[in-house]
Amino acid sequence: MVDAIKKLFGYESTDPYVYLVSTKSGDKINGQIAVDVIGFTFLEKWPRVAIFIGKDKFTHDLIMESGVFALNLLSIKQMELVRTFGMRSGKNVNKFENVGHFTAKTGSPIIKNCVGYADFKVMEKLDLGDHTMFYGLAVDSRLMAGELPLRISYFKKNAPKEWLAELEKTTRESRKKSEKFFAEYAEIKGLV
């Protein structure tokens, strides 16, 4: 079934941008990498976006608390940030400590020299079992550096081999946690 699903929904043919989702709650700031991002710009005055954040992520807890997040579009010169923000959790470290940033309208941190960012207030949240879909309304946005946006295929082609091995390992661990969350959810919902 997985092979058919991947073919049917173009999993292998899409090449998403790599974002850093940042947020702030109280005096805590954090961020993580995300590629599952869907923009919805039908009403030009009210741009919205859906992001899919795993329930095991620290970023998830902070967005739940504060109801705000920002999307930083990374450039091809910022691959190192994929490692810092996408392969370790902010539960025990401040990932922003040595990373130049400033503060967006909502209070979310913005990475200096990213291609651009948009700042969001959460309109709706949807429990998807292992992830929460946060649906945000853009309250601000800005294009900054003139660099090329980082896409997942570029990262996979150009990142050092050790990073890709680390990514495989952290993804496996994450999938295990997600499976637990989803199994509980499916049982409560009577899906299994």
Ligand X SMILES: Cc1cc2nc3c(=O)[nH]c(=O)nc-3n(C[C@H](O)[C@H](O)[C@H](O)COP(=O)(O)O)c2cc1C
Q: Which residues bind ligand X (CB under 6 A)?
A: 18, 30, 32-36, 52-54, 57-59, 82, 86-91, 152, 167, 174
Which of 33, 44 has the CB closer to ligand X?
33
Distance in angstroms (rounded) separating the CA atoms of residues 109 and 14: 28
Is-contact 149 74, C-beta < 8 A?
yes
Q: How far is the CB of 95 from ligand X (least distance, A)?
A: 7
**Which amino acid is it at 139?**
V
Segment holding 27, helix H or strand E = none
- Count the residues in the chain: 192
Angle, CA 157 vertex, CA 147 and CA 167 arms, to 5° = 100
Q: How far is the CB of 114 from ligand X (least distance, A)?
A: 15
Which of 46, 180 has the CB closer to ligand X?
180
Which of 56, 119 has the CB closer to ligand X?
56
The owner of tokens 């710009």 is 41
Taking CA atoms, 63 is separated from 85, 105, 109, in Å, by 16, 15, 13
Q: How far is the CB of 22 from ligand X (least distance, A)?
A: 10
Which of 103, 174 has the CB closer to ligand X?
174
Which of 58, 120 has the CB closer to ligand X?
58
Distance in angstroms (rounded) separating the CA atoms of residues 33 and 87: 8
Q: Which residue is nearest to ligand X (CB)?
A: 86
